[in-house]
């Protein structure tokens, strides 16, 4: 595997379900990110981890819970979601958020549908 991988690619869940999204980066980067991409809206930053420590949480509802067990893996745990949470969830990594441009390397995303 190369780059940033995400599983599953598609997920349909009911509002009472609990599920997790998984992201893995094979680039040796130090930072990982979760973004939410909804139709006609800007890409929204949700969480940032740098060296496995959460450094930013953009007022995301508590029904989204991130976990970063090591610098290569990132999870997003989901519970009691709402239909408006349906979106494409993108994981990204970067070498170091303190470097200019801080190029983001994205995975293909998980298309989430909440019924």
Partner 1 sequence: QKEVEQDPGPLSVPEGAIVSLNCTYSNSAFQYFMWYRQYSRKGPELLMYTYSSGNKEDGRFTAQVDKSSKYISLFIRDSQPSDSATYLCAMSVSGGSYIPTFGRGTSLIVHP
Assess 90 for contact with partner 1 (CB under 8 A).
yes
Task: Single out the residue of 1, 41, 83, 84 in contact with partner 1 (rule: CB under 8 A).
Answer: 41
Q: Closest distance between partner 1 and the C-beta of residue 88, in Å?
A: 9
- Which residues pair with residue 9 across a beta bridge? none
Task: Single out the residue of 17, 19, 45, 67 in contact with partner 1 (rule: CB under 8 A).
Answer: 45
Those residues with Cβ within 8 angstroms of residue 28's Cβ, 6 or more apart along the chain or in another chain: none
Round to whole Å and give the CA distance between 49 and 14.
Answer: 28
Task: Single out the residue of 11, 24, 107, 114 in contact with partner 1 (rule: CB under 8 A).
Answer: 107
Assess 109 for contact with partner 1 (CB under 8 A).
yes
The three-state secondary structure class of 72 is coil
Q: Are the C-beta atoms of residues 3 and 93 closer than 8 Å to each other?
A: no
Size of the site for partner 1 (CB under 8 A): 25
Q: Which is nearer to partner 1, 79 or 88 (CB)?
A: 88
59 CB-contact burial (10 Å; exposed 0-12 / middle 13-18 / buried 19+): exposed
Q: Closest distance between partner 1 and the C-beta of residue 29, in Å?
A: 14
């Amino acid at each position: 595997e190369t780059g940033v991988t995400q599983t599953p690619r598609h997920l349909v869940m009911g509002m009472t379900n609990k599920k997790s999204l998984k992201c893995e980066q094979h680039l040796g980067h130090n930072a990982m990110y979760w973004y939410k991409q909804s139709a006609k809206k800007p890409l929204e930053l949700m969480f940032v981890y740098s060296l496995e420590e959460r450094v930013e949480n953009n007022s995301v509802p508590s029904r989204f819970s991130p976990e970063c067990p090591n610098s290569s893996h990132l999870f997003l745990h989901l519970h009691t979601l709402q239909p408006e949470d349906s979106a494409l969830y993108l994981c990204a990594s970067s070498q170091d958020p303190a470097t200019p441009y801080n190029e983001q390397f994205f995975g293909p995303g998980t298309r989430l549908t909440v019924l």
